[in-house]
Amino acid sequence: MLKIRELNEYNELIDLREKWNNVLKKSRDDDIFLTWEWLSTWWKHYGKERKPIILLAEDTNEIVAIAPLMHSVHKLFGLKLRKMEFIGTEAHTDYSNFILTEGKEQSLKLFLKYLTNLAWDCLELREIPETADSLLCLRKISKEMYMPDQRVASKCPYISLPDSWDAFSKTLSGDMRRNLRRRMKRLRERYKVEFKKQNDLESLEEAMKTFFFLHQKRWRSKGLLGSFGRDPKFCDFLLDISRCFAERNWLNLSFLTINDRPVASALCFEYNKTLYYYHPGFDPEYSKFGVGNLLIEHLIEYSIRKGLKKFDFLKGAESYKSDWAQMSRNSIEVRYIRNHFFAILYDRTTRSYMYDCIKRSNGVFSNNLKSILRTRAPFFF
């Protein structure tokens, strides 16, 4: 008989390492962002002022499913909203999910039933891949909570890798193939061009500093802060996760160098026959050579040679991804709202286009917010 056990301490998460990954390996939705390594490192850097709510479904003391959740308090318009969400939500985690093995639907039902007895205003389950077993089960389960809803959260382009580069190159447009050849030829005529992984260069810390520099240089050339300027914790988090992944041979930190100088970089992860293209960076002085695309070309060739099955560009529909990837899948948000005035208000306002625009403006809210709310949720006024 399945029973639910709740863990609420970081140390309890630390102790689960071996069991966690053993359960994950049995799941059909095994991806890098559900590993114990990713989630425990994320919590170390971003878990402050949050409470872990890790639910384990156990059958005679054997873990068969995990709900990696956390409780957090968000402030909105000076009021507080209690949210239950996946660990990793809000910062740098592209996919989130339940970890389900045998008895998927039964485990998920027990998780949701257990959650109804906990204190929260909004259960917000974001970035679930649309092909996930948990999403299929959620659609079957009777809705016992107020105002369940589903929507597309992100578009995630990817390449289903063939057995050879020639087979893949035929999926690219003629212009794309010609541009890649022409740019590489021009680059090689002027410089010594090489592709290197971190372990061919220098220490991991120094290689990561080079990656950070190239990423920020690109964004600063546009007058923007870039990921590391917006979030100072992000560098420390990526340093920790890169060390952890390097020990497990999951790290692929690659560079394009000219005359031994790195001019393009990509922080990628290799896991479960997939290359996750996590973060790029390049020197804008060499953008005319398309160094970012040349590095992507190299990484796709590498992935095919190594026998990987998927090249995942992760969430975001940036135009350069569509030049490479013919396929994409959606990530879904499933939201349950308690019958509470502020929770309903939060749900209505955060789904409006205007709120998204306001949220992106560094938290500076418009004086016209009340008129927006009248438009989006007139029954409150």
Higher pLDDT, 368 or 331: 331
Place of tokens 């102790």: 15
Residue 330: other Cβ atoms inside 10 A:
16
List CB contacts of 203: < 8 A, sequence separation 6 or more: none
pLDDT band at residue 379, thresholds of 50, 70 and 90? very low
Please count the structural domains in the chain.
2
Alpha-carbon dihedral angle through residues 304, 308, 310, 311, given to the nearest 10 degrees:
-60
Say if residue 277 is in the same domain as residue 198.
yes
pLDDT of residue 145: 56
Say if residue 142 is in the same domain as residue 11.
yes
Higher pLDDT, 347 or 265: 265
Residue 375 lies in a domain: no
Cα–Cα distance between 351 and 4 in angstroms, integer? 33
Residue 26 lies in a domain: yes
Residue 97 lies in a domain: yes
Amino acid at 178: R
Say if residue 192 is in the same domain as residue 259.
yes
Say if residue 135 is in the same domain as residue 175.
no
List CB contacts of 212: < 8 A, sequence separation 6 or more: 228, 235, 281
Residue 73 lies in a domain: yes
CATH number at residue 67: 3.40.630.30
- The residue range of the domain holding 76 is 2-154+332-350
Say if residue 304 is in the same domain as residue 168.
yes
List CB contacts of 372: < 8 A, sequence separation 6 or more: 349, 352, 354, 355, 366
Task: Indicate the average pLDDT of the chain.
Answer: 88
Cα–Cα distance between 282 and 324 in angstroms, integer? 18
Cα–Cα distance between 377 and 183 in angstroms, integer? 53
List CB contacts of 273: < 8 A, sequence separation 6 or more: 307, 308, 309, 310
User: Per the confidence metrics, is the pTM higher than 0.85?
Assistant: yes
pLDDT of residue 354: 37
Say if residue 282 is in the same domain as residue 343.
no
Say if residue 127 is in the same domain as residue 236.
no
Say if residue 79 is in the same domain as residue 180.
no
72, 50 in Cβ contact below 8 A?
yes
Say if residue 140 is in the same domain as residue 220.
no
Residue 356 lies in a domain: no
Cα–Cα distance between 343 and 29 in angstroms, integer? 30
Say if residue 19 is in the same domain as residue 49.
yes
Residue 357 lies in a domain: no
Say if residue 218 is in the same domain as residue 274.
yes
Flag whether pLDDT at 358 surpasses 70. Answer: no
Residue 123 lies in a domain: yes
Say if residue 195 is in the same domain as residue 84.
no
